[in-house]
Each structure stands twice: as structure tokens, then as C-alpha cells.
Chain A
Amino acid sequence: MKHFVVNLFKTPMFLIFALITLIYALPALGKQAELSRYAVVTAIGIDNVEEENLENPENKFEVSLLTFIPIAEQTFTETYKVISAQGRSISEAMDLAGLHIGREIGLSHVKSVIMNTDLLKDDVSKFLDYLSRSKNMAASTKLLATDSKAKDFLNAVQKLNSESSIKVSEVINFNTNYIYSSDSSFETFFKGMFGPTKVSLVPFLTINDTEGGISVASGGEQSGGQESSNGGGQNSSTTSGQNEEIVNSGDTLIFKDGKLKTMLTGFDMKKINLVRGDYTTGSIEVKDYTDKIFDHANLIFEIFDKSVQYKVKYENGTPIFYINAQMTLALSEVENGDGMVEKNVEFFVVDQKCINALENKIRRSVADAIGIMRDNQTDIVDFYTFMHNSDKKAFNNFLDSLEDREDYLNRIVFKIGVDILSK
């Protein structure tokens, strides 16, 4: 035995390791699971405090947390509660919310952050600072805005969560992939803000009080039949007894330098996306088209494939920006005056007239899009980087020649070329 013990002491590191492990293991016997010490938050809503509700006049923010509360059941139901607290800063409100439920707030599973539009008059980055510093929140957390109270929004989300398998983050994901063509996460917000154009996009969702139940509708009234491929049909779920509706109609808030600049409808965004090369889904509508086959018909084409080329030339220091969009389109819907499908569209071959009409339509849309960007001085497409990278010197000269460097979009001459290939 003595020999054995002496042998043990020949490996002191083993003894130390074992000893330390034991020292830590004993308290571990009494340690609660982290899950029962932390509140798992899946969504954060941020509101400003309304004047009349002020308990403490210094409070500025109200934070609502959609929190998972475990219940001792074998059914594995996801039970959520909305917890809210007010505070002078986000962190204070968070701490208070933690106090309210007697647990620490765990942000590692946050999927979305909802901001009330009333907050957005100020610099958004000011109150997003806390969240951006949180190491536990993933950069891919979705950021969205709503015009109603974020707390109400979360309550609606909670109902949605408990009654269907659709999550708001899924709705936003769908947006991201099929409507905006831009990721709308926390990360992209800051990426845009610190990027050369300083423009960031945030999706905008509303809650409508309507009869008929809680539903998720992608593609509201504004866009109507325009979004043929992205209609809300497959995406909505209806249950009776509720009367709130989360509506996602593709509206987008445009921020510049962290400040709210304007709100674009989904329709506007679709136009802007025509100019962006990385966006390939969508549809184009030709209204009131007449030829041998169709009589005053509305033709809706789906974008099958798309590539957009940019080119910049300078004439007397003024940049001329060529946008050449090459698109392959497929006819997806024909709507004549009576709303009947006249011909089998499978074998429809687009003739030159139709192509001209389409080209005009696209050109007009692109011109509209550039108009929107010019009006708001927001370079959503990021012409800046392209021009900077293609000819740094000339572009800097051009910028120097401007009175207001931010106003460069208005000084650029855009030339739009469209090539249509029909499938």
C-alpha cells in the first residue's frame, strides 16, 4: 500500500488534477442546472415609454422579452410568456426584467429583435448598442420594426408560437430570401451602417386588428396580385378566436447612418431589386397588352434568370453609369379583361412587341427605383463601391467637385439597358 501511495506521488500533476476536480465536483453536486437559473429569451421587443405611462420620469425604454418558461410536463409544449420592464437604458430594463421573473436573462437564443417605429426617430445605434455588445446574441439575429407597440407584437407572436409551428423569424427569413434579397439581421444593419453607403434596411411588420383570426400573411393588400410566386397562400395559418394578424407586406425601413430615412413599400423594393444583381426571384407585369393572341390582357412574367452588369465612364468629370440588365423571363399568369385564361401559355412564344413592352416596363421600374434612391439620398444598391473600385481617382475627383458629397446619386447620369430572353 505504501509503495502504491508513493508511486502516486511520483505523478503530482495527476494528484493535483484529481484534487482540483474533486474540489470542484463537490459543489457541483448541489449546482442547479443553468436552465433553471436563466430565462431563455427568444425575441426582444423595444418600445419607448409613453408620456402618460411614466412611473419614473427618467425611464426611456420599455423592453419586452418573449421568454420560454418550462413547465413540468411530458408534452414538450413550448410555453412562452412576455415579460416587460422599463428602464433608463436597455441594460437597466433587462436587469429589471430579470428581477421580475427571478432569473438571469439569457440572450443566446434570441432570434429576433423588434423595434417600435416611435423609437426610430433617434439614432437607432444608440439603443442597439447594448445588444450589439452582447457576446451571446448571435450576429444573425433578425432585426425588424413595427408601428404598433413591440410588446403587443410579441404577444401576437406568442399566440402564434403556441398555436402553430410558424415563427416570426421564419417569416422574416422568407422575406430575406424571396422579397428583399438582403439579409435583415442585426449584423447587416451594422454592416450597412459602417459600410461605404451607410444605408441599412430593416423589414417592417404590422399588426392589424381584423376579424377572422391570427394569421401570417406575406403579401398584403398593397402588392396584391403582383407577387404571384410569393403569395401568402401557403404561408398563412388560421385559427379561430383571435383577431390579430401579423402582416408582412414587404415594407422596408431605410436607415442612413443609423437614422430612419424613409419607408419603402414592398413594391418599391421590388423595383430596386431589379437593379441588384444578386436578386433573381420576382415577377414583372405587363398591363393591358394586346396582340394576335391577347386582347387587353395583363401578362405576368416570372424572372427565371437575371444578370446585371454595371459600367462607369466619365465625361468631363461626370460619371455615366450604365446598367445593363439581362433577364430570362417565363410567363406565369395571363389575366384578360374577364379574368379567363385564354390560351395554353405553355407554348406561348414572346414576340418582339411583347419584349418591347417588357423592356419598357423594366426600364421604367429601374428609373423609378433610381428616382426613389435619389430622392432619399440612399444608395441602397451600393453604386458607391462599384464606382470607387472601378476608377478610384476619377470617382474621388467627382466627389470633390460636389457641394454635398452625400448627394452624388443626383449627379450621376444613369443609362439603362435591358435584354430580354424568354424561356
Chain B
Amino acid sequence: MKVLDRSITAWQTGIILFILLFANKILILPSLLYEDAKLEAFLVPIFLFVLELGLIFLFYRIKTKYPSERFSDILKNHYGKFVTYSLYVLILVFFFCKALLLYNVTYIFFRNMIYKDSGNILFLFCFLPVVNHLAIIGLRVIGRTAQLFFPVIIFISLFCICIGFFGINSSPLLYQASINDVFRSCLKHISAFGDSIFLFIFMDKIKIQKGQWKIVFSFAGIAMLFVVTITTVFILSYTYTSFMHPFAIFEIMSYVKEFGGLGRIDIISMVLIIILTYFQLALYLKGFMESFHVIFSKIDNIYSVLTFNIVFVLAVNYVVLNLSKGVIYGETILPYFSIISFVFIPALVVVMLLKKRRKERKK
């Protein structure tokens, strides 16, 4: 069994980026944002997406400067092995924790909604083989499969948003949160963002021609637009009771419960969440595998998958099994990991770019 990682195109990069930016922000995030930022919660994703776009821009700069090199190699050349390895260890833990949180949230959601009698084992059994398969079969296949599912994702998201518009409150709303509240909320939930470091890790596998960068940026833009719209629609339809409804995209749909005699259309949002979770988990595993491969370059890549699975199953069963724990862990521990994506990597990259520019000027 071999891991076949071949290059992906600009479109596929864009779609993978879309999934990374979109998937984990539509389920519990909007409701959590309401806690601090109240009705102004839609500002939080806007602020954080600006940071995210900055990260993507940095990726653009470094990718154009070093078109076909591995990120770890560039880091090794500039900062030595210690910095590279320690950064990659952090990234490995970051992706693992995010995968854990995502799985946890999805599990709680489906356990509550449609799998009342089924245990955690069933979920693990459903998710892990498919996610492993995706990760092993390679980045290009993930890209292609994501490409196939992308219209479905877009269609369902748009459908949810359209349905959500019917539920929006027309009466005036009381805006009372201050800018401080918004920023507090930003800091608290920053860990939900910063997934674009995935692009840095797979820098060498991404093939983007000169004119195609706008594709990548527009996919990031669409993801941002969707997240902000879904957050806004959710907050506007539930207003003062947003905190009572943890699962945003589902709640948007369930507000308009029976639609044209078709029954509960909220199943559509569940389908979306399942698809996105599968892909997101696969991408996190891919990130995990790649960092693992950089740290232990002599060990076969398959062992990274094995490690992930074992640690994941143990962690899920013994560490996080209910929503409150998951949320606490998401709000308290994970924000520190965001330092990697929003401080370490940008700082390292900016310094590298400056150095390179200085060299070029000297020449």
C-alpha cells in the first residue's frame, strides 16, 4: 500500500481551501459567537477571515518565490532543523486537536438528532475507514472527489441560506454588544480559523499557474461569504435565543420544518454536514500525515495513519465525549494553538521573504 500524493490544480486547491475554511464554522460556531458578540456576531467571522486572507496572501507570496519546494525544506534552510521540527510537531498536534474537536461536535450533533440509539463506536467505524481511505489514496484524489462534491456543497449551502431567509425576523433588533465583546469573541474562537496553514504544508503538491491565483482567492472569498451569511441568517432568525440552538445550519433549516409536504428538510443540512465532516477530517489527517512525515522522515507514511487512528480512538473514548467538554476544550486550549497559524508561520514566512528580497536587491 502506497500513499499516492500527486499534484493538484488551482481549482482543486481552491475547493480544498473552501472546505477547510467553510466546514467547521457552520455547525456550532455561530451559536457560540452569540454568547459574547450577541447580535453583532457576524462581525467576528469577518475580522477573523481578514486574518485568514492575510495568511493565504502570505502563501501566495512564498509560493511564487519558491514554486516547487517543500515548506519544510525551505524552513530547514532558513532556520535549521530544530525550529522546523518543533513547528511541525505543533502543527501535527494542531491538526490532531482540530480533527478531534470536529469529530466530537459532529458526533454530539448526530447523536442528538438522528442516531439516538447508536454509540460512539458506530461513528468511529463510519468515519475512520472512509477518512483513512481518502488520506491514503492521495491529495489529488481528495481534490478530485471534493471537486465532484463541490456543486452539492454549494447547492445545499445556498438552499439552506435561501430557506433561512424565510425565518429572518423582520422586527427591529437591539444591538448592544460593544466592540470589546466582538474582539473577545474573536480571540475565544480564533482556533476555528487558521486552517489555511494546510496550504503551506502541501506547498510542493500545489500547482498553480500565474493567472490562476484569483481562483484560489475567490474560493476563499466564497467560503468567507458563505460563513458570514450563514452566521448572519442564523443570528437574525433566532436573535435572542441563539444560545439555545447550538447547531446553526441545522437550526436554520429546522425553523422551516415542513416544506411543501416533503417532510423535514433539515435532513438536507445533515447531508451537508456529513459530507463536509468526511472531507475536513480527511484533510486534517492529511495534514497530520504530512507533518508526521517531516518529523519522522524515515518511517513509512502508513504508520502515521496508524498512529493517528490509535491516538484518535483513544482520545475520543477517554478525553472528549460530550459537547460541553468539547466546547471548553475548543475555547480554552485550542486558541493557544492558533498562535502557530497566526503568529509563528506568518512571522517565519515574512522574515524569509524579507531576507530573500534583500538578497535579490544585493544582486
Binding site for B on A (CB under 8 A): 10-14, 16-17, 20, 24, 108, 132, 135-136, 138-140, 187, 190-191, 194-196, 278, 382, 384-386, 388-389
Known: A12-B1, A194-B241, A386-B172. A139 touches B129 (CB 8 A): no
B residues in contact with A135, CB < 8 Å? 112-113
On whether the beta carbons of B256 and A140 are closer than 8 Å, the reply is yes
On whether the beta carbons of B255 and A278 are closer than 8 Å, the reply is no
On whether the beta carbons of B257 and A388 are closer than 8 Å, the reply is no
List, sorted by A's number, 12 A–B pairs whose CB atoms are closer than 8 Å.
A13-B129, A13-B133, A14-B133, A16-B129, A138-B264, A191-B169, A195-B174, A195-B239, A195-B240, A385-B171, A386-B172, A388-B174
Which chain B residues (108-166) contact chain A, with CB distance < 8 Å? Answer: 112-113, 122, 125, 129-130, 132-133, 136
On whether the beta carbons of A24 and B171 are closer than 8 Å, the reply is no
A residues in contact with B136, CB < 8 Å? 13
A residues in contact with B251, CB < 8 Å? 139
B residues in contact with A187, CB < 8 Å? 238, 241, 255
Which chain B residues (247-268) contact chain A, with CB distance < 8 Å? Answer: 251, 254-257, 264
Residue of A nearest to B136 (CB): A13
On whether the beta carbons of B241 and A389 are closer than 8 Å, the reply is no
Please tell me which one of the listed residues B171, B238, B239, B240 contacts residue A278 in the complex, with CB atoms under 8 A apart: B171
On whether the beta carbons of B130 and A17 are closer than 8 Å, the reply is yes
Residue of A nearest to B257 (CB): A138
**Besides A24-B125, A140-B257, A190-B241, 8 other CB < 8 A contacts?**
A11-B1, A17-B133, A20-B125, A20-B129, A138-B255, A139-B238, A194-B240, A388-B174
Q: Whole-angstrom distance between the alpha carbons of A12 and B244 in the complex? A: 43
On whether the beta carbons of B174 and A389 are closer than 8 Å, the reply is yes
The answer, yes or no, to whether B318 is at the interface (CB within 8 Å) is: no
Residue of B nearest to A195 (CB): B240
Residue of A nearest to B108 (CB): A135
Q: Whole-angstrom distance between the alpha carbons of A169 and B273 in the complex? A: 31
Q: Whole-angstrom distance between the alpha carbons of A382 and B174 in the complex? A: 10
Instruction: Give the 6 A-B residue pairs with the shortest CB-CB distance, closest first.
Output: A13-B133, A194-B240, A17-B129, A135-B112, A195-B240, A138-B257
A residues in contact with B122, CB < 8 Å? 24
Q: Report the minimum CB–CB distance from A41 to chain B (whole Å).
A: 15
Chain B residue total in the interface (Cβ 8 A): 30
Q: Whole-angstrom distance between the alpha carbons of A119 and B175 in the complex? A: 34
Q: Whole-angstrom distance between the alpha carbons of A136 and B110 in the complex? A: 11
The answer, yes or no, to whether B207 is at the interface (CB within 8 Å) is: no
A residues in contact with B176, CB < 8 Å? 388
A residues in contact with B173, CB < 8 Å? 385, 389
Q: Whole-angstrom distance between the alpha carbons of A190 and B239 in the complex? A: 10
Residue of B nearest to A13 (CB): B133
Q: Whole-angstrom distance between the alpha carbons of A59 and B257 in the complex? A: 34
Q: Whole-angstrom distance between the alpha carbons of A230 and B338 in the complex? A: 59
Q: Whole-angstrom distance between the alpha carbons of A11 and B169 in the complex? A: 52
Please tell me which one of the listed residues A10, A20, A139 contacts residue B245 in the complex, with CB atoms under 8 A apart: A139
Main secondary structure of the interface of A (DSSP, over half): helix
The answer, yes or no, to whether B180 is at the interface (CB within 8 Å) is: no
Q: Report the minimum CB–CB distance from B296 to chain A (whole Å).
A: 21
Q: Whole-angstrom distance between the alpha carbons of A16 and B313 in the complex? A: 15
A residues in contact with B240, CB < 8 Å? 190-191, 194-196
B residues in contact with A382, CB < 8 Å? 171-172
The answer, yes or no, to whether B77 is at the interface (CB within 8 Å) is: no
Q: Report the minimum CB–CB distance from A70 to chain B (whole Å).
A: 17
The answer, yes or no, to whether B297 is at the interface (CB within 8 Å) is: no
On whether the beta carbons of B241 and A191 are closer than 8 Å, the reply is yes
The answer, yes or no, to whether B170 is at the interface (CB within 8 Å) is: yes
Q: Whole-angstrom distance between the alpha carbons of A140 and B245 in the complex? A: 13
Q: Report the minimum CB–CB distance from A307 to chain B (whole Å).
A: 13
Q: Report the minimum CB–CB distance from B111 to chain A (whole Å).
A: 9
Known: A195-B239, A385-B172. A10 touches B255 (CB 8 A): no
Which chain B residues (82-125) contact chain A, with CB distance < 8 Å? Answer: 112-113, 122, 125
A residues in contact with B170, CB < 8 Å? 278
Q: Whole-angstrom distance between the alpha carbons of A274 and B264 in the complex? A: 35
Q: Whole-angstrom distance between the alpha carbons of A251 and B188 in the complex? A: 46
On whether the beta carbons of B113 and A190 are closer than 8 Å, the reply is no
Q: Report the minimum CB–CB distance from A286 to chain B (whole Å).
A: 30
Q: Whole-angstrom distance between the alpha carbons of A140 and B265 in the complex? A: 14
B residues in contact with A12, CB < 8 Å? 1
Residue of A nearest to B1 (CB): A10
Residue of A nearest to B128 (CB): A16
Q: Report the minimum CB–CB distance from B138 to chain A (whole Å).
A: 13
Q: Whole-angstrom distance between the alpha carbons of A20 and B171 in the complex? A: 51
Q: Whole-angstrom distance between the alpha carbons of A135 and B250 in the complex? A: 11
Please encode chain B, from 171 to 206, with 1 for each CB lying within 8 Å of some chain A CB and 0 for all others: 111111000000000000000000000000000000
B residues in contact with A195, CB < 8 Å? 174, 239-240
Q: Whole-angstrom distance between the alpha carbons of A314 and B38 in the complex? A: 28
Q: Report the minimum CB–CB distance from A405 to chain B (whole Å).
A: 15
On whether the beta carbons of A138 and B254 are closer than 8 Å, the reply is yes
B residues in contact with A13, CB < 8 Å? 129-130, 132-133, 136
Q: Report the minimum CB–CB distance from A323 to chain B (whole Å).
A: 14
Q: Whole-angstrom distance between the alpha carbons of A382 and B171 in the complex? A: 9
Please encode chain B, from 35 to 77, with 1 for each CB lying within 8 Å of some chain A CB and 0 for all others: 0000000000000000000000000000000000000000000
On whether the beta carbons of A385 and B174 are closer than 8 Å, the reply is yes
Which chain B residues (3-28) contact chain A, with CB distance < 8 Å? Answer: none
B residues in contact with A194, CB < 8 Å? 240-241
B residues in contact with A191, CB < 8 Å? 169, 238-241
Q: Whole-angstrom distance between the alpha carbons of A10 and B3 in the complex? A: 12
Q: Whole-angstrom distance between the alpha carbons of A132 and B129 in the complex? A: 36
Q: Report the minimum CB–CB distance from B223 to chain A (whole Å).
A: 27
On whether the beta carbons of A389 and B129 are closer than 8 Å, the reply is no
B residues in contact with A11, CB < 8 Å? 1
B residues in contact with A108, CB < 8 Å? 264
Q: Whole-angstrom distance between the alpha carbons of A104 and B176 in the complex? A: 43
On whether the beta carbons of B244 and A132 are closer than 8 Å, the reply is yes
Q: Whole-angstrom distance between the alpha carbons of A135 and B174 in the complex? A: 27
Q: Whole-angstrom distance between the alpha carbons of A17 and B136 in the complex? A: 14
Residue of A nearest to B305 (CB): A13
